[in-house]
Amino acid sequence: MPNSAAAELVLADASAGKGDIDVATVSYQKAFSLDRKDPSALVRGAEASIAAGRFTTARGFADKATLEFPKWPPAWIALGDAAAKQGQTPKARGAYETALKLDGSFDRDAVKKKLAALP
């Protein structure tokens, strides 16, 4: 389905699941460009990039997510995860703390555990 953000996101997740992070990255970017009101492609792109060991790419997705959607906790959690993987403890700590200050439905206990696990 051309020009369908949802279809592109399915393709991205499938590519990431098969381990083809390069194709997945392009698809996550395309999914977001097709629906700039839905931040899920950016966060899922960050998560898939972390799983593939592409921490710089993950950081790019997460930075974009927090810039475009500063009140959405999953964006800040993704940024914290990416920063933690890059060894940027102060950045990770700040991102997790920001997420915890925001309203929304997410696993606050999991974020607190990530925060507590930082060096």
List pLDDT tens digits, range 12-58.
999 999 999 999 999 999 999 999 999 999 999 999 999 999 999 99
Query: Which CATH superfamily hosts domain 5-117?
Result: Tetratricopeptide repeat domain (1.25.40.10)
- What pLDDT digit, counting tens, does each position of 51-90 carry? 999 999 999 999 999 999 999 999 999 999 999 999 999 9
d(CA 80, CA 105): 17
Angle, CA 75 vertex, CA 69 and CA 77 arms, to 5°: 150
Exposed/middle/buried for residue 93 (C-beta within 10 Å: 0-12, 13-18, 19+): middle
Spans of all domains in the chain: 5-117
